[in-house]
Amino acid sequence: MLKTIIVFLAFGSVLWAEAVSLEEILDYASANAKTLQIKQTDALIESKNVQSAESAYYPSLNLIYNAERNQALDGTPIGTESIGGITISGGSRYQSSMILQLNYDLYHFGVTDKQVSIATSELDIKKMQWCSQEKQLHQQILEQYASARKATVEKKYRTQMLELRTALYTMKERLYRAGQYSKVDLGDEAIDIITIQRDIENSSMRYQENVIRMSQLSYMKISQDAELLPIGANKENTFIEKYDNTTEALIFHKRLTQKKDEISLQLREQLPALGLYSNYYLYGSHLTDYDYTISHINKKSYNIGLSVRYNIFEGFKHSASKERLKLELQHIEQEYDEAKHVYEYETKSKTTRISELETLKEQEQHLLREDYKKIDMLTRLRKKQKIDSITKLNAQYKLLERILNIEIRNIDTAFESASLYILNRGINQCSPH
């Protein structure tokens, strides 16, 4: 009775602890993780860059006001002189002017369209990067969750194994005192007990570290006493997505399209640009009264015209830019090939490991059934006094080891399956945001 009460007190906090599933943590992380919020802000910033690029479709309208005092130093009452393209006022007076300027690019071989396309591609990339970042975050949380689940299972069964090993040590100590057991073997038994105690402490410490790390990644406050539910098997994991349908591949394709647009834009910017301009002038002047120039500013003139701008030579700037953009395009293509190569082999590795784990688990299950049969047989023999208690306890100890190995393989299989599912996720499986 006393032992039952002690066990209840020891594990009561676990029994009454709040249960938390992997799905709950992942959903909370998708909604609250700052790394994802930063990506969402990046997309909002890029949407403003798209609006900025689209502004080139509209004319620009500027209003300029000038107020100045001209003082002649040679005594000339009024007049102007021009030399070397510079106009010099020869009179002393106050003057004010107002200019309304209109400028509009009529045609530039689709430069504006390309600028908008590049900005839109960057916006699409930022949105997809949110989903890619979510996948990375979910993988990191999954790794910590699986490790914490292993630590929980290890602590549970190693605690039971410690009780059996302690009982064995007690029996062997009595045999040693009776001269029927060696001191060396008894020392080995003590070392085994210390090793199991150390393993239990390591499992507890690893569990705490995993929970802290999960709380950090997901921004969800997870109690150290929380019960982590088993990782659910996802039937969708049986379908292996082609790399070109994954989020990362779509980002690469968008980057390639964007870089090709930049190369096209660089070429178009070298072609002539046809523009429309217009200026409307208002002017006022007085020899001594500045206020008069403001209150009596009048219509002076206006002009309207067409302009053609063509840069003939800019010191090989465009040729250097063209080569740089081509190399950047080649760099993205190489990154894509490498990422596809890694994805295919990582997918192959995970599917192979899942298959191997399932095979090993079946073998362990078969051996476990044999162990149970052995325990039943030893129990009957013990009742008939044909074997000692040590033999039975050793068999029970090996049975716990077998169960622990099966539990670990179950967790490994579920982890690889969930990890493969996250790896294969596309844009359509991204969380709402």
Residue 110 identity (one-letter amino acid): G
Pair type for strands 93-107 and 86-89? unpaired
**In contact, 299 and 99? CB cutoff 8 Å:** no
Q: Please, which residues bridge with residue 282 across strands?
A: 98, 299
pLDDT band at 239 (very low <50, low <70, confident <90, very high): low
Spell out the domain ranges in the chain.
Answer: 18-58+109-272+322-429, 62-107+275-309
Mean pLDDT lowest for which of 133-137, 140-144, 245-249, 383-387?
383-387
Domain 18-58+109-272+322-429 is found in CATH 1.20.1600.10:
yes
pLDDT band at 375 (very low <50, low <70, confident <90, very high): confident
Residues above pLDDT 90, as percent of the chain: 59
- Distance (Å, whole) CA 129 – CA 43: 9
pLDDT digits (tens, 9 = 90+) for 280-326: 999 998 888 888 888 888 999 999 999 999 988 877 888 899 999 99
pLDDT band at 234 (very low <50, low <70, confident <90, very high): low
Residues above pLDDT 70, as percent of the chain: 91
- Distance (Å, whole) CA 241 – CA 38: 28
* Sign, CA torsion 288/289/294/295: negative
Q: Is the pLDDT of residue 220 over 50?
A: yes
pLDDT band at 382 (very low <50, low <70, confident <90, very high): low
Alpha helices in 231-316 (DSSP H): 247-268, 290-295
Q: Please, which residues bridge with residue 7 across strands?
A: none
Q: Is the pLDDT of residue 29 over 90?
A: yes
pLDDT digits (tens, 9 = 90+) for 327-337: 999 999 999 99
The pTM of this model reads 0.81
pLDDT at 24: 95
- Distance (Å, whole) CA 418 – CA 180: 53
User: How large is the average pLDDT for residues 80-94?
Assistant: 74
**In contact, 372 and 399? CB cutoff 8 Å:** yes
**In contact, 79 and 92? CB cutoff 8 Å:** no
- Distance (Å, whole) CA 340 – CA 242: 10
Nearest to 172 by CA among 182, 163, 164, 162: 182
Q: Is the pLDDT of residue 272 over 60?
A: yes
**In contact, 89 and 72? CB cutoff 8 Å:** yes
Nearest to 52 by CA among 104, 100, 110, 112: 112
